Amino acid sequence: MWYFLFRFMALAVIVSLLIVCMFCIPRLRKKTRRTKVIVFILSLFVILILLPYPYENFFFHFETPEEAFAYSHFGTSIQTVSEEDTCAFIVYSSGGQSADPDVIEKGPHGWNINCPFSSRNGGSKHWSFTDTTGKSKTFFLNVVQSEQSRQLFIMIHRFDSVGNPHEISDIHDTLGSSFQIHTSDSYLSHIEYYYTVLDVDDVDDNYQIYVDGKPIDPFKDLYQKSEWSFIQ
């Protein structure tokens, strides 16, 4: 909340100063109305590009990743936190059936905030299939990478309408990773997701995740180890 409040206040102050300068400084006051409008629009465009940057990281830090996340994200609720040495992966919900992962980086003086509008190093895909009982299941795979540590956060998200049995899916990978599970229910839906953290160096071209015995293929479409990046 404070992230947005400070930027709204900064935008209001900067715009006010810009207007005052255009009408009070003699050299600018002599400019035509068309020139003033163009200068104002261009200035506003540059300001809106620069404002989202997390400047707060130069001045203060947070003791926990939850505090850093809450500072820069509004209208969300944290569901799970997987804290590592130099980063923390957070799964949050904005309401409804959605659950999304994010990463908070840790600096030498504490936890840093991130920009909620910037893209993350990650990718996602979804698929559906019908099990042996004839019930349709829908899954989402989300992959997020920390920018300063060689770690990946893998999340398998399943949602189902109320009324269907909440069977625990069989999820495993070729590394024998331990997948944690989180479930939550509302009057409209059942949310269920599994997650684990991997080291980049352990993931090769043969790495595979299996859901109910079926591979998520191709997993490497989301992860490009050689380029240290992800394809959205």
The residue ranges of every structural domain in the chain are 2-50, 76-230
Torsion sign, CA atoms 37, 10, 90, 224? positive
Query: What does the pLDDT read at residue 160?
Result: 61
- Kindly report the number of other CB atoms within 10 A of residue 25's CB atom: 11
Query: What does the pLDDT read at residue 230?
Result: 36
Please state the rounded mean pLDDT for residues 80-100. Answer: 86
**Of 51-65, 71-85, 200-214, where does mean pLDDT reach its minimum?**
200-214
Please state the rounded mean pLDDT for residues 15-44. Answer: 85
Please state the rounded mean pLDDT for residues 212-229. Answer: 60
Query: What does the pLDDT read at residue 91?
Result: 92
d(CA 181, CA 82): 12
Residue 177 DSSP symbol: -
Task: Supply 125's token pair.
Answer: 């895909």
Q: Is the pLDDT of residue 168 over 50?
A: yes
Please state the rounded mean pLDDT for residues 224-232. Answer: 40
Query: What does the pLDDT read at residue 121?
Result: 79
